[in-house]
Amino acid sequence: MTETTGYSGGGFVHVKNPHLDSMEEDILYHLDLGTKTHNLPAMFGDIKFVCVGGSPNRMRAFAQFMRRELGLAGAGEELPDICAGSDRYAMYRAGPVLSISHGMGIPSISIMLHELIKLLHHAKCRDVTIIRIGTSGGLGIEAGSVVITDTAVDSSFQPRFEQVVLGEVVVRSTELDKDLAEELLACSREIADFPTLIGHTMCTYDFYEGQGRLDGALCSFSSEKKLEYLRRAYDAGVRNIEMESTAFAALCGLCGLKAAVVCVALLDRLEGDQIRASHEVLWEYQQRPQRLIAAFIRQRLGLG
Ligand code: R2B
Ligand code: URA
């Protein structure tokens, strides 16, 4: 069974679940928010940009950075974690920007996105742009390069996300918003002192064997086989590898959200498996997608 991409009538988030309407209350358990306990339209109705990324600390730093970039009052102060009652995910706000962590891997980001998308729906948000800012392994590109994903592909280089529903495999499209990717690339040309490119992003279920690494606790293939696989991925247009983009693209696409994936490459996987750069270098690399997205948001808000 294949599902097609959704549309967003009137710019609203488009949940595709008839059961939601008949629920008296919706508890967003992993976010520690709910329709009866919180006034979601008042809290979130004016959100226009949602940025998601793996680590809670990084997403707090991003929200703090965005407060400074947008010239918001109290920019230097500690930010409260909106999901403080749950230790699964962290959520911060900077004006019209929401910054949320999603943990590592498809199951973790899927749970967060189901609840986030319902949150945006309950809050009656309109015209929301959602961007994953993350880290990745590069493929044939210099460490520190930023990849804007045009298509998220699975480990067979196909633009699909397979979700098992009631024991059946449902295949979902992983198309992302092409215009948004181009807008981000144009933005990078203006600000970036680092290489930025558009390419396919391969999403895997594992960091080690799943990404062809030789340095996990298990490995049953040779260095030659690994390189042959990674070169085939490169020839199919893959420029970086991470662990969430197909699920992110599928869920956001079906719910009518304009979505982008922007990840920095921490290393070139054609040159090795271990991430050897220092903490300082890695910290600076991780700021690159944040700087690009800050410039993009400033531009969209007419501050650029
Ligand atoms: C990138 O980095 C994490 C693994 O180190 C994973 O969440 C991803 O997609
Ligand atoms: N994240 C990944 O998923 N893979 C890498 O190689 C680096 C970061």
What pLDDT shows up at residue 4? 52
Please, are residues 44 and 92 in contact by the beta-carbon 8 Å criterion?
no
Contact 207 CB / ligand 2 (< 6 Å): yes
Query: Binding site for phosphate: what residues are annotated?
Result: 88, 132-135
Return the residue whose CA atom lies nearest to atom 3 of ligand 2. 242
Contact 136 CB / ligand 2 (< 6 Å): yes
Q: Kindly report, residue by residue over 48-85, the tens digit of the pLDDT.
A: 999 999 999 999 999 999 999 999 988 778 999 999 99
Give me ligand 1 centre to Cα 104, in Å: 6
Please, are residues 291 and 232 in contact by the beta-carbon 8 Å criterion?
no
Please, are residues 240 and 261 in contact by the beta-carbon 8 Å criterion?
no
Please, are residues 300 and 187 in contact by the beta-carbon 8 Å criterion?
no
- For a mutational test of ligand 2's pocket, the pick from 207, 230, 282, i.e. the residue with the most ligand atoms closer than 8 A to its C-beta, is 207
* Among the bound ligands, the one closest to the CA of 54: 1
What pLDDT shows up at residue 8? 47
> What are the residues whose beta carbons fall under 8 Å from the beta carbon of 209, sequence distance 6 or more?
216, 218, 219, 220
Give me ligand 1 centre to Cα 24, in Å: 37
> What are the residues whose beta carbons fall under 8 Å from the beta carbon of 199, sequence distance 6 or more?
147, 148, 149, 150, 237, 238, 239, 240
Contact 233 CB / ligand 2 (< 6 Å): no
- For a mutational test of ligand 1's pocket, the pick from 243, 261, 273, i.e. the residue with the most ligand atoms closer than 8 A to its C-beta, is 243
177, amino acid identity: D
Say which residue the tokens 């997205």 belong to.
Answer: 293
Give me ligand 2 centre to Cα 43, in Å: 34
- Report CA-CA distances (Å) from 93 to 63, 72, 132, 155: 6, 11, 16, 34
What pLDDT shows up at residue 269? 98
Give the pocket of ligand 1 (CB within 6 Å). 54, 104, 134-136, 207, 242-244
Please, are residues 133 and 49 in contact by the beta-carbon 8 Å criterion?
no
Please, are residues 77 and 64 in contact by the beta-carbon 8 Å criterion?
no
pTM: 0.96
238, amino acid identity: V
Tokens of 7: 């549309």
- For a mutational test of ligand 1's pocket, the pick from 135, 244, 286, i.e. the residue with the most ligand atoms closer than 8 A to its C-beta, is 135
Which regions in the chain score pLDDT beneath 50?
7-8
Atom of ligand 1 nearest to the CA of 103: 7
Contact 212 CB / ligand 2 (< 6 Å): no
Atom of ligand 2 nearest to the CA of 213: 6
ipTM above 0.95, yes or no: yes
Give me ligand 2 centre to Cα 10, in Å: 37
Contact 157 CB / ligand 2 (< 6 Å): no
H, E, C per residue of the chain: CEECCCCCHHHECCCCCCCHHHCCCCEEHHHCEECCCCCHHHHHCCCCEEEEECCHHHHHHHHHHHHHHCCCCCCCCCCCCCCCCCCCCCEEEECCEEEEECCCCHHHHHHHHHHHHHHHHHCCCECCEEEEEEEEEECCCCCCCEEEEEEEECCCCCCEEEEEECCEEEEEECECCHHHHHHHHHHHHHHCCCCEEEEEEEECCCCCHHHCCCCCCCCCCCHHHHHHHHHHHHHCCEEEEECCHHHHHHHHHHCCCEEEEEEEEEEECCCCCCCCCCHHHHHHHHHHHHHHHHHHHHHHCCCC
